[in-house]
Structure 1
Amino acid sequence: MRSLSSITIHRPEELDAPLVGAWHRAMEESPEYANPFLSPEFAAGIARFRSGARVAVLREGGEPVGFLPYERNPLGVGRAIGLGLSDCQALVHLPGVTWDTHALLRACGLSIFEFDHLVEEQKPFAEHVTGTFASPVVDLRPGDEADYPQWLRATYPGLAKTTLKKERRLARDLGEVRFVHDERDPRMLRRLMRWKSAQYRRTGRMDRFSRPWIVGLVDHLFQLREEHCTGVLSVLYAGDRPVAAHFGPRSHTVLAAWFTTYDPELRYYSPGLLMHLRMAEAARHDGVRVMDFGRGDKEYKDWLKTRELRVGEGFATRPHPVAAAHRLWRRPVRGLRNTVLAHPGLRQPADRLLKTVGTLRSGRAAATRTR
């Protein structure tokens, strides 16, 4: 165990080059911290659009050894930076560093710190974890330069026949299938947002792209070209027609599967699955070693995963009335959601209800436009 000498608080965009370099070194020291959501660049991106973004820098003998990015509201309620968007959260630190959670919260001016994708190795936060959940990943092993059909048959023999058959049918119906791993056309990013917004509305979910700060963040990450955090837009085409698209950040070795969507008119070709398979193969060639899907039960994740990480959800607190009130408000909502997600018998009716709501909402919107 290594003792800390101080904790200082900074705005992410104000970190100087030595501090950013120390953060990068901490990411590189441990594979669990190599995720782009844990990078200083992602924290700085959030800070462009969220005024409460901060970073706690933990020091040992004056040297920076740990970094906790977080958001804070005026009442001292804290949350992991990008909570609701980030699929990986942690205090990024060098091996052997530990901390007292109450002292950390005090230094940050927080009464409570909420998280929902906390890296399992964060032992000082362990007593504050209220539940752990599977987060599927795909290990992309380096290998020979086999072409896509050979790679698919070797890696996913159960899916290969059906997938290749659907791709051939797509090519026959619409034109040659091609995949662009790093598409730089911003018009395709706008199309992805439109498709995803329509998908959210159809399924009754909150439309993330109705929030200007999320649109701004995605635009920013699309332009970002840094080793530890680069925004990657991938597009699957049939002829000249876009079929499916994905946007997510990547580090040197980890690609985060973030926003995937497709043309709903072409859903019978399983474009989402085709997209993920092409992404995995292209990312492997580009040096990525892990594709991280984030927590959540989806059939395609079960098909493609090679293993699962465990991520934690919970509230780190210190005695304070605001912390007690926030926890009383938030915990029942999380508990209900997790109960539904954990039981297929409840999840399917809930999905049907959300889709019905989405249909009614879309119908009202269409009626309003035609008046």
Structure 2
Amino acid sequence: MRSLHGGPTDITIHRPDELSDSLRHAWHRAMDESPEYANPFLAPEFATGVGRHRGDTYVAVLHEGGEPVGFFPYERNSFGVGRAIGLGLSDLQALVHRPGVTWDPQELLRACGLSVFEFDHLVAEQKPFGRYVTGTFASPVLDLKPADGEYAEWLRGAYPGLAKTTLKKERRLGRNVGEMRFVFDERDPAVLRTLMRWKSAQYRRTGRMDRFARPWIVALVDDLFEVREEYFTGVLSVVYAGDRPVAAHFGPRSRTVFAAWFTAYDPEFRYYSPGLIMHLRMAEAAARHGVTLMDMGRGEKEYKDWLKTRELRVGEGFATRPRHPVAAAHRLWRRPVRGLRNTVLAHPTLREPADRLLKTVGTLRSSARADAVGPTADSTAPPVR
């Protein structure tokens, strides 16, 4: 740890797993005092989890009058290139601070030894980073409140347009496969492995990068599954037909916010809309467990449009040190790639052909893999970290 001074605010640098109990308590207090920071991805437990599996992870702690008032988790490579902690996995990023705290981004970057700081899900209220934002995007959310009656009554009241068809599919699933039941907080790690296997196969089918082919991500999810803290709990939810899992989701929750993260289902049951059933069941159950907001994360999906009650805004961009050669090179390399991706995602006429191309690539990749390793390729569990 080292201490640096930047005007009225002192900044100390820590490893996530070396934070004292008093610093963690102060971080939790900042989450409580500002609703925009109540998301579990902004909790110290998430930073600590990532830090166990990513080498160069740090937390800058801002102090005023000797009191910790702000927390900035980040990753840094040997060239001083920084990124939001868990970039590519985290659905929300921020310098978590108590109300009224301000900071200078340039002083922060110097204190952290960063030439550039890259983010892609920055909380919109992070005004000091505002001039570095290159684009803002919708992040759909569900405002939740518990119902007085059973799930079916909640569904008819919250989503009358979806209720009849969804309940009909649930009944049909029960008749054809086995009695349908939902477990909001499943503790069986074998089902978590099933979820990762389904998700890995889905990534390959659709031509996306298989996150669960990366051992550190598998290990991180395994670790977070075991976290049972007030401000961060790893929640595995499962839809069963009889004793058979049909769909599953793993994501973190804080005291008041539940983050939708990894959802997948058995393709054999796709005609029952298991993904939609999963999200509706999770929303109702989360509300009964004290959650007031379910964050579905940035990205355009039809089911998000069906379920959302409103949208938050998140930003992406690069905070850079002026005239720093590493920062300039990093932006020249990264920004065109992001710009092309965002252009495709923002225009349905481009997005749909691109999606079809990815699925074709995924089909060819899966076929080649099946030829190479035999017919059980998709039933092989992802690597264990």
Which residue is 1:233 aligned to? Answer: 236
**Which residue is 2:313 aligned to?**
310
The answer to whether residue 133 in structure 2 is matched with residue 129 in structure 1 is yes
Paired residues of 1:249 and 1:255 also in contact (CA < 8 A): yes
Asked whether the equivalents of residues 235 and 244 of structure 1 are also in contact (C-alpha less than 8 Å), the reply is yes
1:181-260 pair list within 5 angstroms: 181-260=184-263
1:360 equivalent among 361, 364, 373: 364
Question: Contact 1:4 / 1:99 at 8 angstroms: preserved in 2?
Answer: no
Give 1:40-189 correspondences, 5 Å limit. 40-144=44-148, 146-189=149-192
Mapped to 1, the partners of 2:187 and 2:92 lie a distance apart of 26
CA distances 1:199-228 after superposition (whole Å, capped 9, x unpaired): 000000000000011001000000000011
What displacement does 1:285 show?
A: 0.4
TM-score normalized by the length of structure 1: 0.98
Q: 1:116-175 deviations in whole A, cap 9, x for unaligned?
A: 00000000000000000000000002342x101111000000000110111111111011
- CA offsets per residue over residues 165-190 of structure 1, 9 Å max, x none? 11111111011110000000000000
- 1:331 corresponds to which residue? 335
Corresponding position: 1:32 with 2:36: yes
Kindly, what percent of the aligned residue pairs are identical?
A: 78
Runs of 4+ in 1 over 6 A off after TM superposition: none
Aligned length: 368
Q: What is the deviation of 1:240?
A: 1.3
- Of the three residues 304, 316, 329, the one matched with 1:301 is 304
C-alpha distance after superposition, 1:304-340 (max 9, x if no partner): 0000000000000012100000000000010001000
Structure 1: gaps (5+ residues): none
Ranges in structure 2 where 5+ consecutive residues have no aligned partner: 1-6, 376-385
- CA–CA distance in 2 between the matches of 1:147 and 1:4? 54
Amino acid at match of 1:245: A
Q: Secondary structure at the match of 2:225?
A: helix
- Distance (whole Å) between structure 1 residues aligned to residue 298 and residue 99 of structure 2: 25
1:36-62 superposed Cα distances (whole Å, 9 cap, x missing partner): 000000000000000111000001011
Does the Cα contact within 8 Å between 1:246 and 1:258 map onto a contact in 2? yes
Q: Secondary structure at the match of 2:363?
A: helix
Q: Is the 8 A contact 2:224 2:233 kept in 1?
A: yes
CA-atom RMSD in angstroms: 0.9
TM-score (norm. length: structure 2): 0.95
Tell me, yes or no, if the aligned pair for 1:4 and 1:58 is still in contact at 8 Å: no
Supply the distance in 1 between the matched residues of 2:147 and 2:30 (Cα, whole angstroms): 28
| Contact 1:77/1:110 (8 A) holds in 2 | yes
Does 2:8 match 1:4? Answer: yes
Q: How far off its partner does 1:4 sit?
A: 3.5
**Shift, 1:276, TM fit:** 0.3
For the 8 Å contact 2:200–2:210, the answer to whether it is kept is: yes
